[in-house]
């Protein structure tokens, strides 16, 4: 399965729908192809995907990954697993009012469950899935510190958090001599929503990568991972319209530049979006459910945009 001569890919395979919308056979095929093409990072969460599962709770994605790892004994040496804690409903139908949250007790219980479902003894990157202001961020960091000290967790990151909370978390980690949060996971794509709106599927007020968050990340050496970078296929699939929240004059200008560059290179618009994100130091998460979609997206990792193309994309006339 693994071709060790294949260059490592900077792209991430998102496993959110594995075990629910994507059946196990297809999930295994996607995972195999991802690794064959140099993929390393696989992203999931303990709550994936409670909104489409028969039980109303998560765990299916991690369970599929666990069975894939068990069936591919050599794979664990070549892949890195990232998973998230904090957003699992306490009972079916209780989200978002009643979710696991980020107390030390909840974090440790969630990690134990993830390790069991994944069939691993270490999580390479553990994410705080969404902020929990009922818990002091310092208490959350203390719980993360215990996990990194004993080697259960390698790195820690945060999804859907404002920059100021991350800075407070990092300051406390430095104070206690712990591993600081070093990764953001946020919604990011080429188009920008209208002010005051959120893209479909983003339920967090700080879930979309802002200029401030990106500036903070760059100044502090924090990795940025982008979820839903391809608008669920809307850049290239005429059957999937661009969501209404992107309907403003700036979008028309950006789509025109995107189409011009894509046509000149005989590439898909989505491939240019991925290449543009990579050029900006952003690691896109791929969430497709078909092998051909995965192949097209992974081809984007080898696209090198010129300075002129990046300037046009950054500042459309």
Give the tens place of pLDDT for each residue, 239-296. 999 999 999 999 999 999 999 999 999 999 999 999 999 999 999 999 989 999 999 9
How confident is the model over 174-184, as a mean pLDDT?
97
Q: What is the pLDDT of residues 124-168, one digit of tens each?
A: 999 999 999 999 999 999 999 999 999 999 999 999 999 999 999
Mean pLDDT computed over 177-206: 95
User: What number of CA atoms fall less than 13 Å from residue 278's CA on the CB side?
Assistant: 22
Do residues 125 and 159 touch, judged by C-beta distance below 8 A?
Answer: no
Which whole number is the average pLDDT over 14-39?
98
Amino acid 288: pLDDT: 83
Q: Which residues contact 73 (CB under 8 A, 6 or more apart)?
A: none
Conformational region of residue 201, where left means phi above 0, alpha means psi within -120 to 50, and beta covers everything else = left
pLDDT at 6: 80
Strands 153-159 vs 123-128: parallel, antiparallel or unpaired: parallel
Give the closest residue to 83 by CA, choosing from 154, 24, 138, 23.
154
pLDDT for 1 equals: 55
Mean predicted confidence (pLDDT) in 224-230: 97
Residues in the chain: 317
Q: Among positive and negative, which fits the CA dihedral 218, 271, 187, 290?
A: negative
- The pTM of this model reads 0.96
Question: In order of start, what are the domains of the chain with their CATH numbers?
Answer: 12-245+268-305 (3.20.20.100)
Q: Is 190 a catalytic residue?
A: no
Mean pLDDT over the full length of the chain: 96
pLDDT (tens digit per residue) in 43-89: 999 999 999 999 999 999 999 999 999 999 999 999 999 999 999 99
Helix (H, G, I), strand (E, B) or coil at 102: coil
Return the pLDDT at 317: 61
pLDDT band, residue 316 (cuts 50/70/90): confident
**Looking at 48, 227, 235, 246, which residue is catalytic?**
48
- Contact (Cβ atoms closer than 8 angstroms) between residue 96 and residue 20: no
**Res 172 pLDDT > 70:** yes
């Amino acid at each position: 399965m693994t071709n060790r001569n294949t260059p490592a890919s900077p792209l991430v395979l998102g496993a959110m729908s594995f075990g629910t919308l994507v059946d196990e056979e297809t999930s295994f095929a996607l995972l195999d192809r991802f690794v064959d093409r140099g993929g390393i990072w696989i992203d999931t969460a303990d709550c994936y995907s409670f909104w489409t599962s028969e039980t109303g709770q998560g765990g299916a994605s991690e369970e599929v990954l666990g069975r894939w790892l068990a069936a591919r004994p050599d794979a664990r040496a070549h892949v890195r697993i990232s998973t998230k804690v904090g957003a699992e409903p306490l009972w079916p139908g209780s989200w978002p009012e009643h979710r696991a949250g980020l107390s030390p007790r909840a974090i440790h219980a969630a990690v134990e469950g993830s390790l069991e479902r994944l069939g691993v003894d270490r999580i390479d990157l553990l994410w705080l899935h969404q902020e929990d202001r009922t818990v002091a961020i310092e208490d959350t960091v203390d719980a993360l510190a215990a996990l990194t000290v004993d080697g259960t967790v390698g790195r820690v990151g945060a999804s859907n958090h404002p920059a100021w909370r991350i800075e407070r978390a990092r300051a406390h980690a430095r104070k206690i001599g712990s591993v600081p949060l070093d990764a953001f996971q946020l919604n990011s794509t080429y188009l920008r929503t209208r002010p005051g709106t959120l893209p479909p599927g983003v339920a967090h007020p700080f879930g979309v990568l802002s200029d401030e968050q990106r500036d903070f990340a760059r100044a502090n050496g924090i990795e940025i991972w982008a979820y839903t970078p391809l608008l669920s296929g809307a850049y290239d699939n005429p059957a999937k319209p661009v969501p209404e929240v992107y309907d403003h004059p700036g979008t028309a200008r950006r789509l025109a530049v995107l189409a011009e560059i894509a046509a000149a290179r005989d590439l898909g618009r989505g491939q240019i979006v991925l290449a543009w994100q990579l050029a900006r130091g952003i690691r896109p998460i791929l969430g497709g459910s078909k092998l051909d979609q995965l192949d097209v997206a992974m081809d984007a990792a080898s696209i090198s945009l010129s300075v002129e193309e990046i300037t046009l994309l950054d500042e459309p006339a």
